[in-house]
Structure 1
Amino acid sequence: MDMYRNKFLSNNHSYYDGASILVHVNMRGNLDHPYLNFKTSLYMLSGERFENKVQIDWPNPFQDDYPGFSILGSSSINGILCLYRYFKENKKIVLWNPSTEEFKIIPSSPIESGLYWDKLHGFGYDFHKHDYKVIRHITLFSENDDIDQSYGGKSFKTLWEIYSLQSNSWSQLYIDMPVCSGDKESVRVYLDGMCHWWGLGKTHTCKAYLVSFNMSNEVFVTTPMPSDMDDSCQYHSTGKHLVVLNGSISIISIFSNTATFHITILGEIGIEDSWIKLFIVGPLAFIEHPIGVWKNGNIFFRKEDDELVWFNISTKRIEELGLKSRLKFGNIVYYKKSFCVIGGNK
């Protein structure tokens, strides 16, 4: 196992070739408004110890009085990021290439004319059609009694929609798959044409699954959580975070009672027995939760005092980044510079 661990960490995946790190942080603001009392910043990091930091301006659609945005997924795709913000009347979903400063605002779906609630699940690439896509789950409310279910005196039904950049439109997906569990960015990642998220089964046991959705054939596969992570684990950990570590889908589980974290990697999608617990690290009492990973076993964490740090699994070295993030929705993504055209605006 030691040999396997060393090889896993030392063999840098092509995933990192030519990539940089973008750090998305939320810092304390000076406003009195409860929902606007923070500001978002975006930094590009470089250097062996991430000592070089360059702040990046985000595109026009987000340069207003509302606070920032979130980044959907764990990486750029051909240099393109998917940004979004959900603040009631100020909802926006935008594709953006920082290298060219080009952006495209994703249009509304016809279904948005009614009362609805939606959750974005992934931004990915269709290798067959060379198309960029966004997938989301929608709860559509109605006063009619003929719709599937009811809640709080209102009837509703649920459905899936997928956006295509080529057609610049949303279309309905006739599919029944587990919905993403949680709102943090650490429950959704993208790798090799597939969007992955944590989903819960429909039984009362709340069995957790990794849901893997193929952006090309629009088919999904579920992989049960590792057998040693039963439901009781939820009461002893502060969270299970989904990451892409050296080209492998991985789970970072934080255990508050022992101040440790475990790293488990997936060998093959759809095969429960292919999960391998590779590392047990700690105790690190001041670590709160991970916000991303990088090559050579570097993992970025947020501390209890809002300070961001990076930790190397091999050397056990911990260093501060010189950045803070107040909220749990900040994250780190891989970014590869590209001049791909989106077909939007400068």
Structure 2
Amino acid sequence: MNFNKLTFQSPRIGILFSRFLVVVMVWFVFFLVVILPLIPESESFKLCLWNPATKQIRQLPNTRNESETIRTIGFGYDSNTNDYKVVIINYFDDDDDAFYDNFRVFQAEMYSLSTGCWKKIKSDVDFQDMFMEDSSVTVNGMLFWRVEEEEYQFVLSFDMGKEEFRIIVMPDSIEYCYRIAKFKDSLVLLSEFYEDAGLGWAVSVDLWVMEHNCDGGQSWSKLFTVGTFYKINCPVGIWKNEIFIQGYKYTEEESGMLLCNPTNNEMKILTDIGSAHLYDVFNYVESLVPV
């Protein structure tokens, strides 16, 4: 497997580098670029859609409440309307002197590429105490986020066609869900299990797949367990039928990306990363879809 480095080619984005932190998230044919101000409260964040294949970029208009803070973001393709959509959960302070979430107003907004406009999404879900991953997983017109709330974990879903949020409970038997991912057109959980094996902590990774029940609900089935391994940090995603895992090469300061075959537990070292930070893995396919 070869890894290629993607760089920005657009001068419109390059000009912003000196004042903004640029975060890139991928959804197959498009990159979603989140431009955050380096100086707090100096300017609101900016959102751009970028297609590296065509080098086209579109800066999205400001959200309806022009919030300066994003709690989480996701985007994907809605096949029912043949439209690409961006969904954000953001907040603004209800009190100028507020520093805590109980003084903040949380809301969801959705941007449609076809209309070029944002709209507020009404929901009974309370986003206030949710700690969500920065980006979502898209499966069959649904957006999913892994969420932590105190000591409780669950999955937050958003149906782009019905424009509805739902909470999906995780299996009771998992110790800790580290990632959610797409696997064979289904949503899966990647959870870890630690045990003291004498020579150090040994780690196993379980893969759980979400199944849709006849009554419209969801259930989880464990497909397989990978491991036991030493000197691995966490699963970070799935590529085809194999699992990306961040592992330590020599020490915790020298890490590498590994690819594990779940059928035989074979582990391949793909590349050295360097420092032992956490990383995300995204699928990307070149396309000429206009922005």
**TM category, shorter:** 0.7 to 0.9
Structure 1 residue 328 displacement after superposition: 4.3
| Compared CA separation, residues 324 and 67, structure 1 to 2 (3 A) | farther
Larger helix fraction of residues = 1
TM-score by length of 1: 0.68
3-state SS of paired residue (1:132): strand
CA contact (8 A) 2:45 2:69 kept: no
The yes-or-no answer on 1:259 pairing with 2:203 is yes
Seq. identity, %: 22
Of 216, 220, 224, 1:275 maps to: 220
1:192 aligns with 2:137: no
Following superposition of structure 1 onto structure 2, how do residues 138-217 of structure 1 map, counting pairs within 5 Å?
138-143=90-95, 152=100, 155-177=103-125, 179=127, 181-183=131-133, 185=135, 188-199=136-147, 207-217=152-162
Q: CA deviation at 1:276?
A: 0.7
Equivalent position to 2:63, from 86, 109, 122: 109
The alignment covers a number of residue pairs equal to 268
In 2, Cα distance between equivalents of 1:133 and 1:153: 27
Correspondence 1:136 to 2:88:
yes
SS of corresponding position for 2:229: coil
Which residue does the alignment assign to 1:301?
Answer: 245
SS of the residue 1:333 aligns to:
coil
Distance 1:85 1:290 in 2: 27
**CA 1:153–1:339 in 2, change beyond 3 Å: closer, same or farther?**
closer
Q: Residue 54 of structure 1 aligns to a residue in which SS?
A: coil
d(CA) in 2 for partners of 1:87, 1:323: 31
Question: Contact 1:125–1:193 (CA<8 Å) still a contact in 2?
Answer: yes
Contact 1:144 1:155 in 2 (8 A): no
How much has 1:289 moved relative to structure 2? 1.4
Q: Give ranges in structure 1 of 5+ residues lacking alignment.
A: 1-49
Q: Distance in 2 between matches of 1:153 and 1:271?
A: 31
RMSD: 2.9
Which TM-score applies when normalising by structure 2? 0.80
Distance 2:142 2:191 in 1: 22
Tell me the CA shift for residue 196 of structure 1: 0.7
Q: 2:33 aligns with which of 59, 70, 83?
A: 83
SS of the residue 1:331 aligns to: coil
Task: Indicate if the aligned counterparts of 2:72 and 2:133 stay in contact, CA closer than 8 A.
Answer: no
Q: 1:325 to 1:133 in 2, by over 3 A?
A: farther
Write out aligned runs for 1:212-223 (5 A).
Answer: 212-223=157-168
Q: Deviations over 1:123-173 (max 9, x none)?
A: 02222332211111122113379xxxx655994322111112222222211
Shift of 1:327: 6.2
What's the counterpart of residue 184 of structure 2? 246
1:340 aligned onto 2:289: yes
Q: 2: distance between equivalents of 1:123 and 1:80?
A: 10
> In the TM superposition, what is the alpha-carbon distance from 1:323 to its structure 2 partner?
3.9
- Distance of 2:154 and 2:239 partners within structure 1: 24
Evaluate the alpha carbon distance shift between residue 111 and residue 267 of structure 1 in structure 2; reply closer, same or farther with a 3 A threshold: same
Partner residue, 1:316: 265
Change (3 A) 1:109 1:90: closer
Report the Cα distance in structure 2 between the residues aligned to 1:153 and 1:277, rounded to whole angstroms. 36
- Asked if 1:71 is matched to 2:17, the reply is no
Q: Deviations over 1:188-231 (max 9, x none)?
A: 20011110112357xx8x543322211122023332111323xx
Whole-Å separation in 1 of the counterparts to 2:100 and 2:158: 31
Unmatched 5+ residue regions in structure 2? 196-201, 249-253
**Greater relative contact order, per chain length (Cα 8 Å cut-off, separation 6+):** 1
Contact 2:156 2:167 in 1 (8 A): yes
Counterparts in 2 of 1:322 and 1:143: CA distance versus 1, 3 Å: closer
After superposition, give the CA deviation of every residue in 1:36-83 in whole Å (9 maximum; x if it has no partner): xxxxxxxxxxxxxx1x233222343553346652315xx31xx22223
Mapped partners of 1:90, 1:261: distance in 2: 39
For residues 151 and 255 of structure 1, the distance between their equivalents in structure 2, rounded to whole angstroms, comes to: 36
User: Which residue number corresponds to residue 6 of structure 2?
Assistant: 56
The match for 2:280 is 331
